[in-house]
């Protein structure tokens, strides 16, 4: 439980980061939200077996982390925390999809083979062979799509984390509201963020109370677990009702309004347009393959 | 100034499960009065407060806030003049930052942005926490949370201030600051509390509830001298009215029993 608690405190560290004062922090939240959306949509739109095409996309997170002075280790740790989800989505691919679509030649490494027929070699880097090693390793489509999923996960989740760390959760919500996302969704998001901590606190108090009166250190028995979850739900409902009352007392009418000065100026236009151009270029031209072709001079 | 009056007439309330909440409550609180609402746990204090802000509707009888009877049509107008500070500040502070939270009410009143900002800062300065404006509510201490909760309410400039256990869970220092702060407010105040010492300091008048019924209504000092009333209502004389156990020659009443 202590671990869960620490992780949550860690999440709120993002608020501290968002209070930074670089020009990226000062940028209108809408510009950052828009760029992140374009980035995520483009990365996700890449083909199932794309790996090399995804590599240049790393430029955007690197740019943001460097110029916004974000602690890279913190962001990697947060990504690692979510990694299992992507891992279990992708790990079945190697079992399902056993078609060989790439062959790594140990004398001259084939970087990428696009089609299943093994005849369309798109890039080749000649390492002049590794001394004394010959032969080939066949790679199935499943493994390649697995790596593709993991890369996409790192890029998209990284971009989202960077967005929150440079903008702050509430400003992201306000930007989404300005983009026309319906009010109830915004309220949901904001309340999720605000009351996550209160809920975990409530749950950890219950678990502590249980731990102090169960003298064996075993896990919670399943029937007790059900009761505790039910209890937690009831407490949550109670609290939700009280919060709603508090909101009604101050004139809540279904919309949350905040005083936020937003200014979409020249810097914002340049930021969005510049990055959109770069991102779309990465998507349309497979840059690593182009470079590989250029170096190895194999068309 | 008739519009700061709170009046309950023949108030009855039964919970949906059949439990009796309030039974035949009658009182009238005039402009500028400071009234303590005391009683044991489950006596009906919170139920009564929820009625005064229109969150519960009486099964019988009615409430008048100022010139309006409290009903669905007048609810908005009534809530504009009544501010409620909830017992758990976490219920009241739901926005991402302290500033946004205090601004929530004024914005909903339709004030322009510049006025909202002014109101928020004035409210925060009044309770002495203007340095917390940019902080997140979940990172504040209990005393700070309470102060901000009060600021969120006074930012909407209510005429009537209703508080549910304002001094609960506060350390003695924070409690003292709260009392000094409340003393400076000229609003009509209704304070539900178990802290009888605070009631003695802040409220000239006290309403005692017992099992949903009005047990007594009168001058605070006089009621707190009535041992029978206090005992029947599950209360005890405030500490400041008891003899000192160390230097007083008279044994304190509790030990004497």
Q: Is residue B40 part of a domain?
A: yes
Q: HEC string of B92-116?
A: HCCCCCHHHHHHHHHHHCCCCHHHH
Q: Cβ(A61)–Cβ(A159) under 8 Å? A: yes
pLDDT band at A107 (very low <50, low <70, confident <90, very high): low
Question: Do A102 and A228 sit in the same domain of this protein?
Answer: no
Sign of CA dihedral A277, A279, A285, A287: positive
When CB atoms are compared, the residue of A190, A243, A250 closest to B91 is: A243
Q: Which residues in chain B come in under a pLDDT of 70?
A: 1-3, 248-257
Q: Is residue B23 part of a domain?
A: yes
Higher pLDDT, A99 or B47: B47
Q: Is residue B50 part of a domain?
A: yes
Shortest CA distance from A191: residue in chain B: B94
> Are B95 and A256 an interchain contact pair (Cβ–Cβ within 8 Å)?
yes
pLDDT at residue A209 tops 90: no
Question: Do A145 and A129 sit in the same domain of this protein?
Answer: yes
**Rounded-to-integer distance, Cα B249 and Cα B247, Å:** 6
Which tokens sit at A289?
A: 């393959």
When CB atoms are compared, the residue of B53, B108, B117 closest to A251 is: B108
Question: Do A226 and A152 sit in the same domain of this protein?
Answer: no
Which pLDDT tens digit goes with each residue over A233-268?
998 898 888 888 888 888 888 778 887 778 888 999
**Rounded-to-integer distance, Cα A170 and Cα A184, Å:** 15
pLDDT value, residue A122: 42
Question: Do A200 and A83 sit in the same domain of this protein?
Answer: no
When CB atoms are compared, the residue of B94, B104, B153 closest to A191 is: B94
Shortest CA distance from A14: residue in chain B: B136
Question: Do A255 and A277 sit in the same domain of this protein?
Answer: no
pTM beyond 0.80: the answer is no
Q: Is residue B168 part of a domain?
A: yes
When CB atoms are compared, the residue of A195, A243, A259 closest to B103 is: A259
**CATH number for B213:** 3.40.50.300
pLDDT at residue A214 tops 80: no
Mutate to test the interface with B, among A250, A258, A262 (most CBs of B within 10 A): A250
Question: Do A129 and A233 sit in the same domain of this protein?
Answer: no
Planar angle of CA A140, A86, A102, nearest 5 degrees? 15
CA distance B36 to chain A (A): 21
Q: Which domain holds residue B201?
A: 2-88+158-256
Q: What is the side-by-side strand order in the sheet with B34-38? A: B82-85, B160-164, B188-192, B34-38, B205-210, B213-219
CA distance B114 to chain A (A): 9
Q: List CB contacts (< 8 A) between A193 and chain B.
A: 96
CA distance B184 to chain A (A): 23
pLDDT value, residue B40: 92
**Rounded-to-integer distance, Cα B72 and Cα B192, Å:** 25
Mean pLDDT (whole number) for A153-168? 93
pLDDT value, residue B251: 54
Helix axes A29-45, A169-178, angle to 10 degrees: 80
Number of domains in chain B: 1
* ipTM of the complex model: 0.78
> Are A170 and B137 an interchain contact pair (Cβ–Cβ within 8 Å)?
no
Q: How far is CA B127 from the centre of its chain?
A: 16
Question: Do A250 and A114 sit in the same domain of this protein?
Answer: no
pLDDT value, residue B63: 92
Question: Do A22 and A50 sit in the same domain of this protein?
Answer: yes
Q: List CB contacts (< 8 A) between B81 and chain A.
A: none
> Are A245 and B109 an interchain contact pair (Cβ–Cβ within 8 Å)?
no
pLDDT value, residue A10: 72
Q: Which domain holds residue A157?
A: 1-180+265-299
CA distance A111 to chain B (A): 48
Q: Where are the alpha helices (DSSP H) in chain B?
A: 45-52, 75-81, 89-92, 98-108, 113-126, 142-154, 172-184, 196-202, 220-225, 227-232, 253-256
pLDDT band at A297 (very low <50, low <70, confident <90, very high): low
Which pLDDT tens digit goes with each residue over A262-283?
888 899 999 999 999 999 999 9
Q: Where are the alpha helices (DSSP H) in chain A?
A: 2-18, 23-26, 29-45, 59-67, 72-90, 93-96, 141-167, 169-178, 183-213, 222-249, 266-284, 287-296
pLDDT at residue A125 tops 60: no
Q: Is residue B144 part of a domain?
A: no
3-state DSSP assignment of residue A128: coil
**Rounded-to-integer distance, Cα B17 and Cα B94, Å:** 30
**How far is CA B128 from each of CA B97, B137, B141, B150, B168, rounded to the nearest angstrom?**
17, 15, 14, 11, 19
Q: HEC string of B174-210?
A: HHHHHHHHHHHCCCEEEEECCCHHHHHHHCCEEEEEE
Mutate to test the interface with B, among A16, A171, A247, A249 (most CBs of B within 10 A): A249
Mean pLDDT of all residues in chain A?
A: 81
Q: Cβ(B115)–Cβ(B122) under 8 Å? A: no
Number of domains in chain A: 2
Q: Cβ(B130)–Cβ(B124) under 8 Å? A: yes
> Are A246 and B91 an interchain contact pair (Cβ–Cβ within 8 Å)?
yes
Q: Is residue B125 part of a domain?
A: no
CA distance A170 to chain B (A): 6
pLDDT at residue A204 tops 90: no
pLDDT value, residue A200: 83
Q: Is residue B130 part of a domain?
A: no
pLDDT band at A206 (very low <50, low <70, confident <90, very high): confident
């Amino acid at each position: 439980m202590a671990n869960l608690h620490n992780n949550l405190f860690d999440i709120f560290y993002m608020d501290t980061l968002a209070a930074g004062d670089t020009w990226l922090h000062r940028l209108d939240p809408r510009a950052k939200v828009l760029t992140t959306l374009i980035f995520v949509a483009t990365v996700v739109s890449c083909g199932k077996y794309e790996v090399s095409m995804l590599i240049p996309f790393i430029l955007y997170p690197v740019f943001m982390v460097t110029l916004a002075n974000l602690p890279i280790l913190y962001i990697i740790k947060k990504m690692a925390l979510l990694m299992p989800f992507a891992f279990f989505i992708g790990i079945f691919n190697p079992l399902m999809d056993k078609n060989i679509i790439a062959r790594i030649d140990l004398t001259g490494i084939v970087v990428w083979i696009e089609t299943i027929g093994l005849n369309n070699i798109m890039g080749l880097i000649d390492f002049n062979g590794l001394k004394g090693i010959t032969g080939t390793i066949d790679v199935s489509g499943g493994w390649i799509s697995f790596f593709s999923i993991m890369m996409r996960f790192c890029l998209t989740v990284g971009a989202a984390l960077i967005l929150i760390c440079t903008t702050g959760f509430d400003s992201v919500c306000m930007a989404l509201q300005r983009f026309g996302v319906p009010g109830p969704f915004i309220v949901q998001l904001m309340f999720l963020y605000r009351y996550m901590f209160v809920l975990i606190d409530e749950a950890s108090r219950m678990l502590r109370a249980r731990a102090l009166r169960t003298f064996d250190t075993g896990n919670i028995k399943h029937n007790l677990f059900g009761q505790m979850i039910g209890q937690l739900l009831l407490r949550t409902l109670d609290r939700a009702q009280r919060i709603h009352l508090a909101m009604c007392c101050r004139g809540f009418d279904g919309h949350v309004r905040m005083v936020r000065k937003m200014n979409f100026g020249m810097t914002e236009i340049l930021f969005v347009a510049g990055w959109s151009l770069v991102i779309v270029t990465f998507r349309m031209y497979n840059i690593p393959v182009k470079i590989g072709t250029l170096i190895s001079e194999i068309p | 100034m008739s519009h700061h009056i709170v009046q309950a007439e023949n108030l009855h309330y039964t919970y949906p499960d059949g439990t009796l909440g309030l039974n035949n409550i009658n009182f009238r609180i005039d402009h500028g009065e400071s009234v303590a609402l005391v009683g044991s746990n489950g006596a009906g204090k919170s139920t009564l407060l929820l009625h005064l802000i229109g969150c519960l509707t009486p099964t019988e009888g009615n409430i008048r806030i100022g010139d309006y009877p409290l009903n669905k049509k007048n609810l908005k107008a009534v809530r504009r003049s009544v501010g409620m500070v909830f017992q758990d500040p976490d219920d009241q502070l739901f926005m991402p930052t302290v500033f946004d939270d205090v601004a929530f009410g004024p914005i909903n009143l339709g004030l322009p942005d510049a006025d909202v900002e002014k109101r928020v800062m004035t409210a925060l300065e009044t309770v002495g926490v203007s340095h917390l404006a940019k902080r997140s509510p979940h990172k504040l201490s209990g005393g700070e949370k309470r102060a901000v909760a009060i600021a969120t309410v006074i930012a909407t400039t209510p005429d009537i201030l209703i508080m549910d256990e304002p001094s609960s869970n506060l350390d003695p220092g924070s409690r003292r600051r709260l009392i000094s702060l409340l003393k400076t407010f000229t609003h009509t105040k209704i304070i539900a509390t178990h802290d009888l010492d605070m009631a003695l300091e802040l409220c000239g008048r006290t309403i005692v509830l017992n099992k949903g019924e009005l047990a007594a209504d009168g001058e605070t000092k006089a009621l707190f001298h009535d041992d029978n009333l206090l005992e029947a209502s599950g209360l005890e004389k405030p500490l400041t009215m008891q003899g000192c156990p160390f230097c007083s020659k008279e044994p304190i009443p509790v030990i004497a029993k």
